[in-house]
């Protein structure tokens, strides 16, 4: 023992697990056992009194003279104080007097430390087993070790102070095979909910004669391939259907040549008459040379499958009708009873770039178009997942997967989805995106709700007022003095009269010298009544308060039909009607349109 060297003892930290605490405790006991004066106090059954003025020697007594290495009560108390002081030195998270003066046994000290970390031995502590999860930076094997350490720590002990069904524990409990099986099963379920079922299918032959815990090493080695198989089977599906818009209504009467039904329907031919060289322009079931028994059999078979042709319509047709190809006046009988509505969407920012996310509550995964991901400079990682359309069979070409962070006002949205080559929208936000960011839709109000207090409208709204012909542009100015570094942006708020989520054309404002060099003309979308102007130059730009940066105008598609009608009306007879000037003022001119007087 003189040549034995104890491992270097370490101190407890603020965060410890059951396993790390046990390692610390066992190493400390070994270190203390190297001193012969501490050996008698390391027994689990050894107890002593608290150190007080009334009992300065902790109720120790002197040894008899006949006892080898006899010690007095003062010597015993001094040795115990030294041992407890060593324990307190390596346990800074507990008050020193709690260990040195108020402890009565080693078991009490261990329980005090366990109580501090929240894993003291009790019946309630076993319920914390449900809180064990696989961490993002943790390997599956590390998770199993945490599970097995927790089970070992909660095995009942005879001196643990816990009874079972009103009876005390006589012997220390051991880890049984059934408990090991439950631990392995829990380990598989925490890694992936579908993993136990796949293990049952893959290792069904071995499990006939072996326990689940006994094949745990084989499962650990094959775990990457098992998880890859599960991920491959998890296909993301897009539950969307594109319905073309309703066509323009046609005239009530239109010239439509009647189609020849013989060209649309299946061509009639009779193999019996064709082989005999007779006229074969009829079906086999209508052939008068067909035996009666065969005719009855064919009629019975056709009744069973429910595809009997309407004989009356076939007989009423006259293939030699001379009026067949004559122009007729037909009334259009088309009926459009299927309602078509725009999908809900949410306009968000990625840096200074506005992106429209189409919300699809029927999609089981999130997707983004490949061109959009490249434009946003998103990192695309390889993936083994696949994606299908709503029919479950039409595949989408998956390039990889990516993760992005979007913003709108004070909200941050997290997106992780598949990068798809051909997608009809920029970004498709499915159920995972809605669930992670607490988003719901209210189609009746055309609202997208974020949380409990924020909502925004989607869809275009027809303006009830005519667009002003005198001034359609609005000057935007900075609200504060700041420096825009290269690659950064400046956020500008739109006037309240402008739509919050719309498309606008940005032009540098010529009246502000110096700013036209970095504000580039662009067509962008506003998000929550704000636009972001980036600094794409290689130098920082100083912007002062109230500086005119740019002017914006709403982008719209003119009504070509209305303009054509106006041009046609004005060209009749070459007469042009001058505009009316009954009013003595211009209704198109307004004072302080940019709210300059309100800006301070």
- pLDDT for position 559: 61
| Residue 4, pLDDT above cutoff 50 | yes
Triad 453, 456, 462: Cα angle to 5°? 150
- Residues 37 and 54 reside in one and the same domain: yes
140-146: average pLDDT: 89
Euclidean distance between CA atoms 369 and 374, whole angstroms:
9
Indicate the pairing of strand 427-429 with strand 367-369: antiparallel
- pLDDT for position 328: 44
Residue 560's pLDDT band (boundaries 50, 70, 90)?
Answer: low
- pLDDT for position 121: 73
239 belongs to a structural domain? no
| Residue 539, pLDDT above cutoff 90 | no
598 belongs to a structural domain? no
Residue 337's pLDDT band (boundaries 50, 70, 90)?
Answer: low
Greatest pairwise CA separation for the chain in angstroms: 141
- pLDDT for position 181: 92
| Percent of the chain that is helix, strand, coil (3-state, to 5) | 30, 20, 50
Backbone angles phi, psi at 201, to 5 degrees: -70, -40
pLDDT greater at residue 276 or residue 467 = 276
Q: What is the DSSP letter of 583?
A: S
3-state SS track over 400-453: EEEEEEEEECCEEEEEEEEEECCCCCCEEECHHHHHHHCEEEEHHHCEEEECCC
> How many C-beta neighbours within 10 Å does residue 334 have?
8
Q: Pick the most confident of 61-70, 152-161, 404-413.
A: 404-413
| Residue 390, pLDDT above cutoff 50 | yes
311 belongs to a structural domain? no
Q: Are 365 and 422 in contact (CB under 8 A)?
A: no
298-307: average pLDDT: 59
Euclidean distance between CA atoms 244 and 13, whole angstroms:
65
- pLDDT for position 237: 58
| Residue 264, pLDDT above cutoff 50 | no
| Residue 53, pLDDT above cutoff 80 | yes
519 belongs to a structural domain? yes
| Residue 504, pLDDT above cutoff 50 | yes
- pLDDT for position 510: 62
112 belongs to a structural domain? yes
- Residues 93 and 151 reside in one and the same domain: no
- pLDDT for position 446: 87
- Residues 453 and 479 reside in one and the same domain: no
The label of the residue with tokens 């005719």 reads 295
| Residue 1, pLDDT above cutoff 50 | no
- pLDDT for position 311: 44
Euclidean distance between CA atoms 475 and 548, whole angstroms:
7
- Retrieve residue 529's tokens: 């009544």
* Percent of the chain scoring above 70 in pLDDT: 74
- pLDDT for position 195: 92
- pLDDT for position 286: 78
Q: Using alpha carbons only, how large is the chain's radius of gyration in Å? A: 42
- Residues 26 and 114 reside in one and the same domain: yes
- Retrieve residue 315's tokens: 């007989």
- pLDDT for position 190: 92
| Residue 224, pLDDT above cutoff 80 | yes
| Residue 440, pLDDT above cutoff 80 | yes
- pLDDT for position 182: 92
- pLDDT for position 285: 75
| Residue 418, pLDDT above cutoff 50 | yes
79-106: average pLDDT: 89
Instruction: Report the CATH number at residue 422.
Output: 2.40.70.10
| Residue 256, pLDDT above cutoff 60 | no
Q: Is 254 helix (H, G, I), strand (E, B) or coil?
A: strand
Euclidean distance between CA atoms 364 and 433, whole angstroms:
10
Q: Pick the most confident of 171-175, 322-326, 594-598.
A: 171-175
| Residue 581, pLDDT above cutoff 60 | no
- pLDDT for position 487: 83
pLDDT greater at residue 572 or residue 264 = 572
Average pLDDT, the chain: 77
- Answer with the one of 100, 120, 140 that is the final residue of a domain: 120
Q: Which residues pair with 402 in a beta bridge?
A: 417
pTM across the whole model: 0.44
Backbone angles phi, psi at 441, to 5 degrees: -120, 150
6 belongs to a structural domain? no
Compute CA distances 588 → 223, 465, 556, 566, whole Å: 73, 12, 20, 21
- Answer with the one of 120, 145, 164 that is the final residue of a domain: 120
- Residues 409 and 352 reside in one and the same domain: yes
588 belongs to a structural domain? no
313 belongs to a structural domain? no
pLDDT greater at residue 564 or residue 187 = 187
- Residues 146 and 193 reside in one and the same domain: yes
Compute CA distances 137 → 134, 140, 153, 184, whole Å: 8, 10, 24, 20
- Answer with the one of 306, 336, 360 that is the final residue of a domain: 306
- pLDDT for position 255: 44
Backbone angles phi, psi at 83, to 5 degrees: -65, -45
Candidate from 109-113, 258-262, 498-502 with smallest mean pLDDT: 258-262
The H-or-E segment that residue 74 falls in is helix 73-89
Candidate from 147-151, 286-290, 467-471 with smallest mean pLDDT: 467-471
- pLDDT for position 466: 47
- Residues 147 and 220 reside in one and the same domain: yes
* Percent of the chain scoring above 90 in pLDDT: 9
- Residues 48 and 74 reside in one and the same domain: yes
- Retrieve residue 259's tokens: 């189609």
CA 25 to chain centroid, in Å, comes to: 43
| Residue 187, pLDDT above cutoff 90 | yes
Residue 320's pLDDT band (boundaries 50, 70, 90)?
Answer: very low
Candidate from 26-35, 139-148, 287-296 with smallest mean pLDDT: 287-296
How many domains does the chain divide into? 5
**Which residue range forms the structural domain that includes residue 501?**
473-567
- Residues 287 and 370 reside in one and the same domain: no
- Residues 104 and 164 reside in one and the same domain: no
């Amino acid at each position: 023992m003189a040549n034995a060297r104890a491992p270097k003892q370490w101190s407890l930290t603020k965060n410890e697990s059951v396993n790390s605490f046990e390692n610390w405790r066992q190493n400390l006991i070994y270190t203390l056992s190297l001193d012969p004066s501490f050996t008698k106090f390391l027994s689990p059954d050894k107890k002593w009194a608290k150190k007080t003025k009334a009992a300065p020697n902790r109720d120790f007594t002197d040894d008899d003279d006949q006892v080898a290495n006899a010690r007095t009560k003062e010597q015993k108390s001094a040795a115990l104080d030294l041992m407890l002081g060593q324990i307190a030195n390596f346990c800074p998270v507990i008050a020193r007097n709690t260990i040195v003066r108020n402890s009565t046994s080693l078991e009490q000290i261990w329980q005090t430390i366990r109580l501090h970390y929240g894993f003291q031995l009790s019946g309630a502590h076993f319920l914390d087993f449900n809180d064990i999860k696989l961490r993002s930076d943790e390997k599956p094997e590390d998770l199993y070790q945490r599970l097995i350490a927790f089970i070992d720590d909660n095995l009942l002990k005879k001196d643990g102070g816990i009874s079972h069904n009103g009876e005390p524990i006589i012997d220390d409990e051991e880890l049984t095979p059934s408990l090991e099986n439950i631990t392995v099963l829990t380990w598989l379920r925490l890694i992936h909910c579908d993993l136990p079922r796949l293990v049952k299918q893959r290792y069904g032959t071995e499990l006939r004669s072996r326990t689940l815990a006994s094949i745990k090493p084989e499962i650990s080695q094959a775990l990457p391939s098992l998880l890859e198989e599960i991920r491959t089977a998890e296909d993301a599906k897009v539950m969307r259907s594109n319905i073309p818009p309703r066509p323009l209504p046609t005239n009530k009467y239109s010239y439509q040549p009647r189609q020849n039904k013989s060209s649309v329907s299946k061509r009639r031919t009779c193999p019996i008459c064709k082989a005999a060289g007779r006229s074969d322009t009829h079906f086999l079931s209508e052939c008068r040379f067909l035996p009666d028994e065969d005719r009855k059999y064919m009629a019975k078979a056709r009744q069973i499958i429910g595809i009997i042709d309407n004989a009356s319509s076939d007989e009423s047709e006259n293939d030699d009708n001379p009026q067949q190809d004559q122009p007729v006046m037909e009334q259009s009988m088309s009926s459009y009873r299927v309602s078509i509505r725009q999908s809900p969407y949410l306009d968000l920012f990625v840096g200074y770039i506005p992106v429209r996310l189409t919300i699809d509550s029927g999609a089981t995964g999130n997707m983004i178009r490949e061109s959009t991901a490249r434009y946003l400079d998103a990192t695309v990682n390889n993936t083994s997942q696949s994606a299908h359309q709503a029919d479950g069979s039409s595949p989408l070409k998956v390039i990889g997967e990516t993760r992005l962070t979007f913003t709108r006002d004070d909200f941050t949205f997290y997106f992780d989805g598949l990068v798809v080559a051909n997608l009809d929208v920029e970004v498709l936000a499915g159920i995972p995106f809605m669930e992670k960011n607490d988003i719901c839709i209210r189609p009746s109000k055309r609202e997208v709700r974020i949380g409990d207090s924020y909502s925004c409208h989607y869809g275009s709204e027809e303006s009830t007022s005519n667009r002003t012909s005198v001034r359609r542009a609005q000057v935007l100015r900075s609200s504060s003095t700041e420096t825009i570094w290269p690659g950064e942006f400046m956020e500008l708020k739109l006037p309240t009269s402008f739509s919050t989520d719309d498309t606008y054309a940005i032009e540098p404002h010529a009246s502000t010298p110096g700013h036209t060099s970095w504000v580039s003309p662009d067509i962008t979308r506003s998000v929550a009544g704000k636009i972001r102007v980036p600094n794409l130059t290689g130098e920082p730009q100083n912007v002062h308060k109230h500086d005119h940066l740019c002017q914006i105008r709403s982008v719209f598609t003119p009504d070509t039909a209305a303009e054509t009608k106006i041009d046609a009306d004005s060209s009749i007879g070459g007469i042009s009607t001058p505009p009316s000037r009954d009013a003595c003022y211009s209704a198109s001119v307004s004072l302080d349109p940019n709210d300059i007087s309100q800006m301070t």
